[in-house]
Amino acid sequence: MGNRSVTADPILLALVGPTALGKTRISLDIAPRLGAEIVSVDSMQVYWGMDIGTDKASLAERKRVPHHLVDVVSPCEPFTVAKHQELAFAAIRDIHMRGRLPLLVGGSGLYFQAVADTLSFPEYEVAEKVRAGLEEEAARDPAALFTRLQEVDPDSAAVIPAGNVRRVIRALEVREITGVPYSRFQGRLFAGHGAFDIIAVGIEAERDLLTRLINRRVQGMMERGLVEEVQGLLREGCLSRTAAQALGYREILEFLDSRSGLEETIRKIELGTRRLAKRQLTWFRRDPRIVWFKLEGDEESDLRHLEEDVLGHLRAELEKRER
């Protein structure tokens, strides 16, 4: 890469932040201009067949801009952050070997951090067994699982709803795999001692704008057939507990089980998405390496302006490393 030292850490670009702010759109536009390929750090886009609810780039868009870690596993199979890390490292090595740049894109904080800071996990088989055991326990007695979280990590239990089984499992999984409570685990991140030279950008917006964009996104998913997508997954006969707990899918499953009306379901998805966005911002704002850019409005020109600002920053940082 130009005049960079051969001993310098390999560069890793990143575009992160809360849902619904246009990360996918921006990444599709800037990746070709940076000579980059996209590596997803979204915990649910790994599942094939879960397209609308995870707001994946279309097949045509993925053909135009290479994507990695999208559609890699059946939704009936378990998938862990450790496995994602393993696959992401392999993709990043391949991208670098071909003289291109990896661009991490997504809003799953732990998945991003596992790659960016080269977090240490046990072998995938061990992590898979931990996740499977927790899922079995949750199927038998989810309340008991939450009680255990309260005992081993009260700080996480204080902010994770007891009914959000997926997040309870995630917190316990991190605790069992790393030996560190999920709450304190986050505080130990961002040390900057990973294997990469990180150039990270975050996208944010004022609360009213974010709420408006979230509601628009949810409405668009419903119009594109989120209910029908979930029905199709059910006909296939297998949804892992993790996949079934994904935001949007969980609420539609409840709707199909006649536990709520459609309008109520839409409101639940909107509320859940707002809460997710808040958690995402809380996580990423702890990382001092991320340079933040604010989306100022919901017009096409606002997104274009933001896109050019992000691109300009990334190019400037890359030029610094060439000197």
Domain ranges of the chain: 11-119+195-322, 120-188
Residue 183 confidence (pLDDT) above 60: yes
pLDDT of 176 reads: 80
- The owner of tokens 């560069």 is 11
Average pLDDT on 192-203 reads 85
DSSP state letters, 197-233? EEEEEEEEE-HHHHHHHHHHHHHHHHHHTHHHHHHHH
pLDDT-derived band at 185 (thresholds 50, 70, 90) equals low
pLDDT-derived band at 82 (thresholds 50, 70, 90) equals confident
Q: Phi and psi dihedrals of 297, rounded to 5?
A: -165, 180
pLDDT (tens digit, 9 = 90+) per residue, 237-246?
878 888 888 9
Most confident range, picked from 11-20, 124-133, 192-201: 11-20
CA-closest candidate to residue 38, choices 15, 9, 72: 15
**Encoded tokens for 206:** 């004022």
Sign of CA dihedral 48, 51, 57, 61: positive
Residue 269 confidence (pLDDT) above 50: yes
- The owner of tokens 């991003």 is 112
Average pLDDT on 93-120 reads 93
Q: What percent of the chain has pLDDT over 70?
A: 91
pLDDT of 52 reads: 97
Average pLDDT on 199-221 reads 98
Residue 123 confidence (pLDDT) above 70: no
Assess contact for 289 and 32: CB atoms under 8 A.
no
Average pLDDT on 34-42 reads 98
Sheet of strand 11-16, all strands in order from the earlier edge strand to the far edge = 67-68, 36-40, 101-106, 11-16, 197-205, 290-295
pLDDT-derived band at 137 (thresholds 50, 70, 90) equals confident
Helix or strand (DSSP H, E) at 165: helix 165-178
Average pLDDT on 19-29 reads 97
pLDDT-derived band at 118 (thresholds 50, 70, 90) equals confident
pLDDT of 6 reads: 45
CATH topology of domain 11-119+195-322: Rossmann fold (3.40.50)
Distance CA 167, CA 154 (A): 14
pLDDT, greater one: 10 or 171: 10
Q: Indicate the average pLDDT of the chain.
A: 89
Residue 1 confidence (pLDDT) above 80: no
CA-closest candidate to residue 189, choices 201, 197, 180: 180
pLDDT (tens digit, 9 = 90+) per residue, 279-297?
999 999 989 999 999 999 9
pLDDT of 7 reads: 45
11-119+195-322 and 120-188 share one fold:
no
Instruction: Decide the pairing of beta strands 290-295 and 197-205.
Output: parallel
Residue 222 confidence (pLDDT) above 90: yes
Distance CA 65, CA 57 (A): 10
CA-closest candidate to residue 146, choices 130, 161, 131: 161
Assess contact for 281 and 18: CB atoms under 8 A.
yes
Distance CA 219, CA 314 (A): 32
**Encoded tokens for 315:** 């190019």
CATH numeric code, 120-188: 1.10.20.140
CA-closest candidate to residue 177, choices 230, 101, 125: 125
